[in-house]
Structures are given as C-alpha cells and as structure tokens.
Structure 1
C-alpha cells in the first residue's frame, strides 16, 4: 500500500507491506491472566504510540532492520507471551489476558526519503506519523484486539523509524522500556532477557474488603459548569527544549528555600503556570496538575525486578486559576512537590480499592493537565544493531511527556510536549519566552506583572 505524504517542504512516499501477525517463536502457555486493579482503570484503556528513530550504520551493511526486528520479536514474545494474547472483560469490568498466542501486528515499510530531509530537529509532532505507524483497521480496540502494533520503516539513507503502539493496560512506560530492552537484546544475539519478565499482577489488586484510605483528587467527580475551556478544533502540538540554560532561567523565580528542587519540579510548575495563563480559564476555576509518579520504590518489599505492569499513580495538585496566575512560582512548585510526596504504598493500595468500589473510573478531566517523565527509561540507548537512536519517545497528545533529547548543538536536555488550541499556544509561547528571557527586572518578579491583567483581560486577578 502506498500513500503520498506532504509536509512543508518535504514530500515523500511510504510503501507498506501487508500487516503480519508475529507469534512467539516457541509454544507458550495457554491461560487466562487477570490484570491488576491498577492496570484496568478506564484512564489506561487506550493505545499509546512511541517512536524510535535511527540513523544509518555502515557496519550493518545491507541488513534489513525490519527482518532483524521481526525475528527478534518472535523470540521476545516467548518470554512476554501475554502480549501475543487478547484482552477479555469479566464481571465488574475486570480485564484479563487470554494468552492465545494469536500474535502482535507487524508492518514492514519503505519511505523514499532520508533522515536528513526530515529537518534539523527530530521531535514530535511528526507530521507523517499516521503513515509511520499505520492504524490497521480493527486493531485499536481494547478487547479482542492485538496488544502491540509495530512498524519498521526503512529510509533511503539506511536509517529507519521503529514505531510501536501498545495497549496501556498491559504495561507502563517502565514496563515498555523493559520489553523493548529485551527486544534489542534479542536483535544482538541474546537467547534470554537480562531481566526476566514478572507477571504477578495480584500484587496490585484490591484488598478484601476494599477500602479507600487516602484522598484521591485525581478521581474527583467535577461538573463542567462552564463548558469546555477549549474544543479539539484548531489544536496545535509543539515540543519545547529545556537544557541547562533554560532550567537555570526558570530557577531564578524560586525563593531560596526551594532552590534545591528537582528539574522535574521546576519545569512542571513553570509549564502549569504558563498553560493556565494561556487557556484563560475562569479565575475561580479549580485547575489540576496530575503528575505521573512511578511507585515501584514505594513498596516494602519493593515490586519485583522484572514486573512490567502499571505501577504508577497520578496525584493531583489543585489550585484556583487566579492563584496560579498571580502568586509566585514557588506557590505552584510547593503544590507539585506536595502532590508527588503523597504517593506511598498505602496510596497505591487505596487506588486499587477505589477502582473496585467505583467501577474503575476515568480520572478527572475538567481543568486537568497531566505530565509524564520518561527521561529515565533509557530509551535513547536502545540498540537494535544500528547504534543509539537520535530520538526516542512518545508522540501522543493526552499528556505532556518529558523525554531525553540532544539538540542540534549537542546539548543534552529535556523535550517537553504541549498540546493547545493555536491561539492559546501563542499565549503559552509568549509567557514561556518571558520566563526564559535573560534576567530582566520588568519580569523578574513575574507574579507581580500587572501587564497580565491588561493583556488577558482578567480584571479580578488577586495579588
């Protein structure tokens, strides 16, 4: 199948081979494996795409990356055989994997374009993502659909793009990285993963009887009394690079007692503030910053090494819009730090119990902004024989993802994705540019800048 792709100023053609189902290379158990009560919540019942981009490597000669990865995938599925099954739903919306061995979808493709032609900075959103990761008809359901879809697109320069879409109920980012590490090891001749996968989803199932012991504002039932802040029309997605210079600029706005905060914390607080100003909510509206927190280390004993299920929570920091806009950056930073600290083993047990009691609800969407840090998963280092990738991370709009990135100057930093209506994106960029500008007394005390009131027509902002 061939489709013409036009970007500005790039035009190229992608030729796809027919989709295949790759099954485990050896017989695997036929069994029914329930997911955990963290796994099967409504907010994880979707497929999430990741892109891994590789340059050419003369040492690989004429080897076809699609053939190399296809063969390794069959071997990896021997150990991760639940991925080759299909999800079923039981009583109480309980999800379980029918380990049927039906296989995962695999697509081989070629594009008549070089990596260099994609542009100076390789970062999402990739304008041709629909062809680099083709949505095979009938493949994107939650029940009775393939749990993995992989496409390898070879480029004229000898490089390739590996695109992967996985059902989020099966694993989180940490588990995805573990599976992809196994896949890379198999391409390099390994017969057994360096870390053996662990299922044991019962470790994160609800207690008997279930009882909610913590406050979970991320699942609050909130009426959208003012209608949606924005619609999905005319949306724009952009990526922003934050290296040492940019992070230092953001830290200027912090009080002394918060100077030791993490890069994640100051970046998250800053983006939350810029985004809130950009979308212009009602000043009395509650805004939620929901932070993806990996909870593996919170358990005693720790969750076993090799466990690849979902082990995270998204605690919510909550504030009135007017306070985010007007108070010092340290105010939002304190809220971010507090939300992160709430995640404990008991918190996770309480989430699992809440899921069973309330029918596995969706997280609160009204006034919510979600951030997820995937910088520590080692995705750039994944080597399928062609060396390290030049980009590795998600291309998805539901959350702002932080990925490791090396820009064209060779600077290492964080790439943060933001998704907003075009008019709000313009305001977002303006606010962010002010924070990143060289030291300027007119904006150094950002929370006292009265221009915000005039510029955004927010007459009742409280100082």
Structure 2
C-alpha cells in the first residue's frame, strides 16, 4: 500500500484571532503529550451531493473547499492554529499566534475496502493517513489534517490534534464546525455554542488541598514493559449487548456492561492468577459534575480518571452485574469534591517535581477503557455524506481499549482493543462466548 503526498500547506484563520498565551490546566498537562490520530473513511456516495450555496471548489472532497472551511473554523477554535509553547516557570502553554494548521493532500494506490473491511489501527495506518511530527514537545504544531484520495474513489480524512488542546468532546465539536462550514452553513449554525477557552476554571486551589490520594495518576502504576501488541475491532451486536446488560442492574450503562465483560475476557486470555490484583482505569467527563458546572462547550481536557482495583478471582467468579456495578460506582463517585481533589493532587505533585502519569505502559494485570459512546463522532458531513467508519489510527499500548458507537446505531457498538498476539485467540473465544 502506497500513499503519495501531493500538497502540503499551512491554513491560517480567515480572520484576525486573539494573540495570547493560553494557560493549560493540570488536567491538560496530565494527558499524553502527543497528537491523537483519527481516521474518517468516506466511500464515494451513490448519488453525488449538490454543491451548497457559496461553496468553494467543485468535486468530491475538493481540497479548496475544505481549506476555506478550515480557515473559517480556526477563527473560533483559534488555539488549534497556534503552537505549543513554554511559559513562566517552564509550564507548557499554547502560544495562540495564528500561524495555522497543517493541511495535506495525498493519493493512495489502493481502494478503501481493502483497508476498512477488516480495519486495524497500527503505526502503518497512522503513517499513511495522518501527518506526523517527530515530537509533541514545544514548539510543535497543534493540529494536522490529511485528505487522502483512494483508488477508485473514496477518501480518508486523517486528523492529528495535540491532546493538550482538548478531549474527545472538544475534538468532535471542532469537526462538527468544520464540516458544517464546508456544507455552507453560517458560522453560528455550524458551531452551535462557541468553544469556551478559559481553562482557569480548573485552576488548583491556593493552597492545594487534595481530599484523596489518586494513584491512577502515579507513575508507579505504569510499570509495565513495552510489549508487542496488535489492535482488533470487535463488534458487539445488539443481541450480545442486550445479553450483557440483562445481567446488570437497571441504570448500568452500556459502557459499564461492555467494560465489565472486556475486563473478564482480558483476565481469562492473559491467564492472570486468581489471587492477584487487577486494575481498571476509567475516565469520567467532569463538565456536568463540577459546581457550578463547566460550560458544555468547554474546549480543553475535562476528563479525570478513577481506578478500580480488585482481585482477579472477583472479576471472574462474581456475577457480571457485580463487576459492572463496581465500574459504575467508580464513575459515579467523581463529583465536584473528587475533581477538585484531583486538580490539587496534580498541583502538589508538580510542586514536588513529580510528573503525572501520561503514558500507557500498563502491566499485564491492568486495563484502560475509554468511552466515545454518545459523542457525535459520525456527525462529520462535509457535503458528500457522513463517514462510514471513524476510529483511532493507532493505539499506544497493550491493554488499552475504546468503546465506540457504530455508523449505524442499530448495529450495536464496537470495541477497539490492543492485546498481545499470543492472547488473541483465547480472548476472542471468550469475548464471543464460544
């Protein structure tokens, strides 16, 4: 498979934007210091869509039309046109200088079905479809996009946005804005609520007074060794999903039910000792959990982690509903007190010179499951239809999983899971209850 770059350019905001240094919160600084690589696959539409009024450029995924819409989208989302910088005391910040986002046009010598029929995130997939920079450290670019035209039609949009700028909700808010502008919507209609950029709402208290210990942010729990792994996409059909949820109490979410099942399957596949400990890292969106709540359009990292630690024998021998409830309890305990404690804990650790855990080198006993359920990941229509498939281009560690919806909500959900190859066969048999 070969991909040739035919154009590389910087796209600056179409209007003047604030020139300032954007302070980053402790939650921004606790994420992996890298660009998050995603791919959106668009097959050729059966019926060509009409050009929207005022659109620039013609034809399927015309680059000029996308670049013009991107320039307009970078006006409200101006941090994405800046560069990662260093402020007072060596603290990372975003230098909002309007230099622009990277935009690449490429052509591939293969068809989309060859890759997306049995899609696997991998370093090779990222290399083909997402622009790459050697380091996520200052003064790196904040946002990169690549449109790759496939053999026989079809397009892959690859996006690489630096994780310190935003979480999943912020990323999909930006994509919705960009695609809406490309369809000819006005700025207010495409963007909806303007992104909220004031991250000082998540500033630590003075003095910082954490109410709890937060070992999930400790480097001590990332003591795993680099291990070869592969990533597979597992479909959770409605029948299997209904079966899993039938073993759980009312009110237990799809995420908790699927994650409980995934946790069990991981323990079995890896042959973990029944008396040993296993840990699950779970994320929680805090926008609605703070008092007062953050604006829904808060553009930054508004996710905190919690940790569920238990014996392997409890994960395997207890009912699935018990495991799912333990996950639900961990998510539910993330309230205003807990969030402020996390922010203060990270402040104390930084004052001691300690770094927050940002990597994903977990030991074989552990699992990290991220939820994209309920996010508008498929609301990405540039004017030629919605994507057939959206997923990470690459996973960054064994034992890491995403739970996402499918393009067709009636098809259930999908689990992307990175696991050592020697455990795959056993995992798949247990996962599908064979």
User: Which TM bucket (shorter chain)?
Assistant: 0.7 to 0.9
Partner of residue 80 from structure 2, selected from 66, 80, 83: 83
Q: Within 2, Cα distance between the matches of 1:97 and 1:158?
A: 38
1:305: Cα distance to partner? 3.4
In the other structure, the counterpart of 1:278 is 269
Q: TM-score, normalised by structure 1?
A: 0.82
Q: Within 2, Cα distance between the matches of 1:110 and 1:72?
A: 21
Task: Assess if the C-alpha contact under 8 Å between 1:109 and 1:153 holds in 2.
Answer: yes
Deviations 1:191-230 (A, max 9, x none): 4232211101000111111110134231246478xx74x6
In the other structure, the counterpart of 1:239 is 233
In the other structure, the counterpart of 1:264 is 255
Task: Assess if the C-alpha contact under 8 Å between 1:317 and 1:338 holds in 2.
Answer: no
1:86: Cα distance to partner? 1.2
In the other structure, the counterpart of 1:396 is 394
In the other structure, the counterpart of 2:181 is 186
In the TM superposition, 1:101-250 aligns within 5 A as 101-118=98-115, 120=117, 124=121, 128-136=125-133, 138=134, 140-192=135-187, 193-220=191-218, 222=220, 228=224, 231-233=226-228, 235-250=229-244
Q: Within 1, Cα distance between the matches of 2:203 and 2:431?
A: 42
Q: TM-score, normalised by structure 2?
A: 0.87
Task: Assess if the C-alpha contact under 8 Å between 2:166 and 2:300 holds in 1.
Answer: yes
The answer to whether the aligner puts 1:324 opposite 2:318 as a matched pair is: no
Q: Within 2, Cα distance between the matches of 1:116 and 1:46?
A: 29
Structure 1: 5+ residue runs without aligned partners? 6-12, 438-463
Q: Within 2, Cα distance between the matches of 1:241 and 1:93?
A: 45
Which is higher, the Rg of structure 1 or of structure 2? Answer: 1
Structure 2: 5+ residue runs without aligned partners? 51-57
1:294: Cα distance to partner? 1.0
Deviations 1:120-149 (A, max 9, x none): 45564596432112424x4x4232001111
Deviations 1:248-268 (A, max 9, x none): 23245x26xx25422211101
Task: Assess if the C-alpha contact under 8 Å between 2:126 and 2:394 holds in 1.
Answer: no
In the other structure, the counterpart of 1:420 is 419
Deviations 1:7-54 (A, max 9, x none): xxxxxx32212432211112222211111121112x332221111111
In the other structure, the counterpart of 2:70 is 73
Task: Assess if the C-alpha contact under 8 Å between 1:49 and 1:164 holds in 2.
Answer: yes
1:93: Cα distance to partner? 5.0
In the other structure, the counterpart of 1:100 is 97
Task: Assess if the C-alpha contact under 8 Å between 2:61 and 2:155 holds in 1.
Answer: no
